[in-house]
Every structure is written in C-alpha cells, then in structure tokens.
Amino acid sequence: MGDKAHTHPGAAGRAQAADHPASVRNVVLVGHSGSGKTTLVEALALTAGALNRAGRVEDGGCVSDYDEMEHRQQRSVQLSLVPVEWDGIKVNLLDTPGYADFVGELRAGLRAADAALFVVSAADGVDGSTRMVWEECAAVGMPRALVITHLEAARADFEEMTRICAEAFGGDDPDAVLPLYLPLHGPRAADGHAPVTGLIGLLTQKLFDYSTGERKESEPGADELPLIEEARNRLIEGIIAESEDETLMDRYLGGEQIDVKTLIQDLERAVARGSFFPVLAAAPAAEGARQGLGTVELLELVVRGFPTPLEREAPRVTTPDGRPRELNRCDPDAPLVAEVVKTSSDPYVGRVSLVRVFSGTLRADQTVHVSGHGLADRGHEGRALHEADERIGALSTPFGKQQRPVTHVIAGDLACVAKLSRAETGDTLSAKDDPLLMEPWDMPDPLLPLAIQAHSKPDEDKLSQGLARLVAEDPTMRLEQNPDTHQVVLWCLGEAHADVALERLRSRYGVQVDVVPHKVSLRETFGGKAGGRGRHVKQSGGHGQYAICEIEVEPLPGGSGIEFVDKVVGGAVPRQFIPSVEKGVRAQAAKGVAAGHPLIDVRVTLLDGKAHSVDSSDAAFQTAGALALREAAAGARIHLLEPVAEVSVLVGDDYVGAVMSDLSGRRGRVLGTEQTTGGRTLIRAEVPEIEIGRYAVDLRSLSHGTARFNRRYARHEPMPPQLAERLREEARAGA
C-alpha cells in the first residue's frame, strides 16, 4: 500500500455494475455525528473521479441524500450509497448517520457491508456509541480500519489520537491498532498551527505531498527518516505478529530485513481477516485541488486490504416455513438470494429499495419471491409474515439524485430496485420457484412513545396508509393502536427519530398529525369486599324488562383476571339467565367502575336475584349485572393500578451511581446489579411505566449516549393514593 502513483482517473471513476464478486468492495463508514463521514465520502468520490469540484456527480446530481428535509437540517438521517471505482474495483461506500436515533440505518449499513471504516474526529475523539459499534463489528469478525479527520482543528494531534484509538479499540492488543502513515506538517502559521500537507509511508518510507492539490511522491530526506523509525519498527512488529508465517518473527528478531512487499502482503491479509486495524489520516481537498489528503492511500487500503464479498460468511437462510437451507457463498450462477437493506421514497420515482445480492444474479424484469419476517411479537401492526411474487422493475446504481441504469446485479453487489411495492426493509428476494428467507439482522427496540392523532378529517382518511408506508421503510419504528387507551402510538428511538417521522408523514405522504400526551394502560380493582344489587325493572306496555340480581365482589391476587361464581340456590335466577348476568358484569368491568379503566383481579359471586316469567330476558339480566357491579363499586374502596415494567440497563461503570439514583427518583426498585465485560454493569429494576415514557431520551443524556436499556411488562400494581387521586381529578376535568 502506498507504493503506486495515481492520477485523477476522471470518467473512469464512475462505478458501473460489477462483473465478478472479486471486483467489489462493500464498505460502511461509521462514526459519531460531525466526525466527517459524508465529507470523507465526497473526498473519496472526488479522488476517484466520480465527483467534480462543484460537488456534483460527473453525470449530474448531488452526493448527499435527496431528502429535502435533510438538506434543510444539514444532517443526514438515512443510509446512503455512493459507488466509485478505483484500480478496476467497484467500491460501494455506505454512509451511515451518526445520530444515535438512526442506529437502524447504521445496522442496515453493517448488514450490507463486508468491512467498516471508523471515522474519528481529531477534534472530538472517540465517543461511547462508536465504541459500542466497534464491539458489534468485533463480535461478527468484520474487518475494520480507522480514519482520523479534522486534522486542521486547533490542537489536533494525530499521534495522540492514534494512541487514544489504540486504547479504545485495541482491547488486549493495542499493537493491532497502528498507523500506516504519519502526517507531514507545513510551516507554522501565525497562530502556531502547522497544517498537514502530506503523509509519509511507514512501510515504503516514501513521501506523499498533497500541498499542491495533486499527490506527488518523493523520497524522504535524511533528516526525515529518523522521525519515523520508532513508529515504523512498531508497525513492522505488529504486522509480523499477525503474519501466518510463523518464522517471520524469528527472522526479524535475528536482524533480517523483511522485504517490504512481504510486509504489505501480510498486512493486507491481516486486515482482510479482521485481526489488524490500520489507522490512516484523511482530509478533503482544498479549493481547486483534485485530491484530498490521504484519499489515495485510503482507496488503496480498501481495494487491496478489505475483503471481497467472496470472503464473507453468508447469513443463515431457511425456507419460509423454517427449514434450514445452505446458501452458496456469493456465487453469481447460484439461485437468487437478496435482501432489502433500505426502503425510501423518491419524490419522482416512488418507492426505491436498496438491495444487497448475496447469491445469484438479480435481473431487471424478472419475477422474484418476496418473503418477510413477522414482527407481531414486537407489536408491529401490518408486519405479519408475508410472501408475494413481484416483478423486478428498473435496476440502477445510485449516486445522489441520479440513478444509473444497469441490466443486472451479481452476487456481492448492491443496487436500487424501483417500485418494489410489496417488499419492506429486511425482506428477502429469492427465486420464484425456490423461495427462501434470510435470518433478520438485529434491530434496536424503539422505546420512546409518540401518541398522535389526525389533525383534520382529510388527514384521518390518509393516516392509516401513511403510517403503514412509514413503518415499512423503517423497521426501527413500531406502530401500536392501543386497545385500552384508544391511542395511535409510534414507538421511536429518540426525539430526532420522532421529528423525522412526523416530517415524513407531512412532506411525503401529505398527512398532518397532532402530538398528544401518551397514556399508559391503567387498571382498577377492589380494595376489599363489597356487595351490590342490580335492579332493572321497566314496564311500558307489552313485554317489559325485569331482572334483579345480587352480587358480592372481592379482590384476588394480581394476574387473576375476573372470576365469576354462581351461588344462586332455589332457582331465584333461572339457569338460562346466569350467563347473561356474567356477560353484563364482564362488559361493565371492561368499561371500568371508577375512572374508566378496565377492572381486573376480582371474584364476582352471584348470590341471589329475581325473575319474571314474561318480562325477564337476556338483555335485562345483562343490564342488571352491570348495575350490580357499579353499585358494589360505589360503596367500595377502588384501587387504581398502574403497569410496572422490568427494566434492564447496561451502562458504563462510571455512570452506575447516576443511573441508579435516577431510577429511584422514578419510583423504581433496583433488584440487583451484575458486572459484565467491557467495564459495564447491568442494572435490573422494576419501574412504573408512567415514569419511563421519556427514559430513552433521559438515559442517553445521563450516560452521554453510552447506555442501553430494554423493558418488558411485568404486572399491574396499586398506584400511590395521591397520584391516583390526581389522575382521577384530571379524568373528571377532561370529561
């Protein structure tokens, strides 16, 4: 790496459809917001000749995403694909959002890629969320490299940032995270800052000067070589430690000069298998320049060091009914298996699906089978297991607003499919006569509720369709229509995620909604025994209505539901009307007896009653049963029950005290803590759901974005009397 001379390839840098998986590299860029990912993508595209100095694609169009809202907010919230070509290799650059709220787009990028570039700002350093993504990549063995940006910032120090990266990402082996180049500094300015004007290759010992806007290679002077000796020796030792040639270390320690070509080959192999993580520096090109600092070196690393799709282990595949199937690894001639990794709406084309082909070849106009996972267990509405045959429309390679048509997409490559109306993000495309289903990738559970209602009657007519399209695009968004509160709730990952959802509903689907306070599903129960008499007697000519029943209500343990017991003797209530009484009792219990919340965990015993030979009926005894329950409640102490959630919080040890104190302030009960790997602690607690509506936002702030949590319903239990009374007063005022 670093031993080739490159010139601006111009139109040759335009990436077309690949002809073999070995000529493809799929790379995802990861980093926190503001680290410079999108700027780096533009710099790489400029160097590869796919972008001109005006920031325009050679064929026209803008590199950044076409979503107008994203332009206005000056931030990217979607996964975007920018393909370029370098040395005959198609490089698919997957730019991911840096905001924690859009981690679903990041996970989609990780699924579509075979290697990752971690972009770290020299001005901001390494944040906790970037560390967590690194661990995710390490868990699946994804090859990684690091790029340090913003070297122009005041007090930016490449060597110090490299040391920080080695500590953060090296784990037990910091020598696996080492720089391949050191920056060269120009003359110091009046403020004392010396700009970075070039790089020096530690292995090749060559200088690469970018000060003129064109990369120029030269030999270092005698005074410059001693400056890199220590870093070069450490890099060589790190490469040799990862070499598959076990004799290399002995030869090196014995004083033998290892050939640079051998070192580069061992470096490339170590990077490709994910055991060595090189650090590079990069910066965008200056005005009028055609190559940004370090972009050539970075492209060389990608095409020569990162693995091809042939080297990636394929995700697990089954038939739609769950029978395992073995997938041919990235064979263009094998049966088709592809996956929708992103769904978006283009204002001109309509729905556009970004697809990664894992096996076979996807062709325009062919009919494929679409299989999708059911997500009903996570509360998704309209996301049941689904299957359909659908015809593939136009295939294209995306680049900003432009879509370059292609006739086919081979295994290992990515492309866009227009108007794939039945496929959602995460769905599998396979051969019509051999349907398959890929194992889904891990997605975070949305835990921030957003209760909405249509702004007007026209919006109400369009709301259902707009929400369905929204959740089809974004699997990290969950739609719930709560049967207890009668609210439509969008579960999101955070406030920014919620804001984007509302804006997309308005701008893309023409639906204006109002945000309303989110309600939790409360319950009621009896605090002690109580009796009630239901009398429904009416006479208005002809057949009247006559039913009288007497009941006793007593509380039961939590989780018992409603129990109905018949203790009528002597036929006071005819047998055929006893189910009618029960039906009336249960109907009233569902409506509530005090504050309008369902009644649970009681035993209702029918003790006595009266009937009329002519005027008694099913309807009359249903009404009497309901009246009896209401009378019993009027003379009893009614408890308001609130849902309690089991909450598990995974947090860094530095924030354990703050998190536990915050949970206690939410009326939470900490059940225990457990030490985990990576200097983190798992906190288990039970917290009333009414107290954790915004916990997804608050925990992120409390832990500086480093904590995660999950929750699940545990039970309902009595609410503190003062809080219950306040809610009753609010309900009465609202009525």
- HSE, CB side, 13 Å, CA atoms: give it for residue 684: 9
- The predicted-structure confidence for 442-500, as pLDDT tens digits, reads as follows 888 999 999 999 999 999 989 998 998 888 888 899 999 998 899 999 999 999 999 99
Give the 3-state secondary structure of 417-449.
Answer: EECCCCCCCCCEEEECCECCEECCCCCCCCCEE
- The predicted-structure confidence for 184-209, as pLDDT tens digits, reads as follows 887 776 666 778 889 999 999 999 99
Amino acid identity of residue 59, one-letter, is: D
Residue 76 has pLDDT above 60, yes or no: no
Q: Identify any residues that bridge with 627 across adjacent strands, giving them in sequence order.
A: none
Please give the model's pTM, rounded to 2 decimal places. Answer: 0.85
- Please state the φ and ψ torsions of residue 317, each to the nearest 5 degrees: -125, 140
Residue scoring higher pLDDT (563 or 595): 563
**Where are any strands of DSSP class E within 144-276?**
144-149, 177-179, 181-185, 196-201, 207-209, 216-218
Percentage of the residues of the chain whose pLDDT score is greater than 70: 90
- The predicted-structure confidence for 381-434, as pLDDT tens digits, reads as follows 445 567 899 999 889 987 656 778 999 999 999 999 988 888 888 999 999 999
Residue scoring higher pLDDT (164 or 401): 164
Instruction: Compute the average pLDDT of residues 178-185.
Output: 93
pLDDT of residue 15: 59
**Where are any strands of DSSP class E within 122-195?**
144-149, 177-179, 181-185
Residues 609 and 571: beta-carbon distance below 8 Å? no
- The predicted-structure confidence for 615-669, as pLDDT tens digits, reads as follows 999 999 999 999 999 999 998 999 999 999 999 999 999 999 999 999 999 999 9
Residue 67 has pLDDT above 60, yes or no: no
**Where does the pLDDT of residue 543 fall: very low under 50, low under 70, confident under 90, or very high at 90 and above?**
confident
**Where does the pLDDT of residue 64 fall: very low under 50, low under 70, confident under 90, or very high at 90 and above?**
very low
Burial group, residue 217, by CB count within 10 angstroms (0-12, 13-18, 19+): middle
Q: Please tell me the distance from the alpha carbon of residue 161 to that of residue 144, in angstroms, as a whole number.
A: 17
Residues 471 and 376: beta-carbon distance below 8 Å? no
- The predicted-structure confidence for 585-626, as pLDDT tens digits, reads as follows 999 999 999 888 999 999 999 999 999 988 999 999 999 999
- HSE, CB side, 13 Å, CA atoms: give it for residue 155: 3
- DSSP for 669-700, written as a single string: EEEEEEEETTTEEEEEEEEEGGG-TTHHHHHH
Return the DSSP state at 155: T
pLDDT of residue 68: 39
- Shortest CA distance to 564 belongs to which of 543, 586, 549? 586
How many residues in total does the chain contain? 735
pLDDT of residue 447: 94
What is the overall mean pLDDT for the chain? 87
pLDDT of residue 666: 96
Helix or strand or coil: residue 321? coil
Residue 580 has pLDDT above 80, yes or no: yes
Query: Structural domains in the chain?
Result: 22-311 (3.40.50.300), 317-438 (2.40.30.10), 449-504 (3.30.70.870), 523-636 (3.30.230.10), 640-734 (3.30.70.240)
**Where does the pLDDT of residue 11 fall: very low under 50, low under 70, confident under 90, or very high at 90 and above?**
very low
Q: Which residues contact 250 (CB under 8 A, 6 or more apart)?
A: none
Residue 71 has pLDDT above 50, yes or no: no
Indicate if the alpha-carbon torsion angle 267, 273, 275, 277 is positive or negative: positive
**Where does the pLDDT of residue 220 fall: very low under 50, low under 70, confident under 90, or very high at 90 and above?**
confident
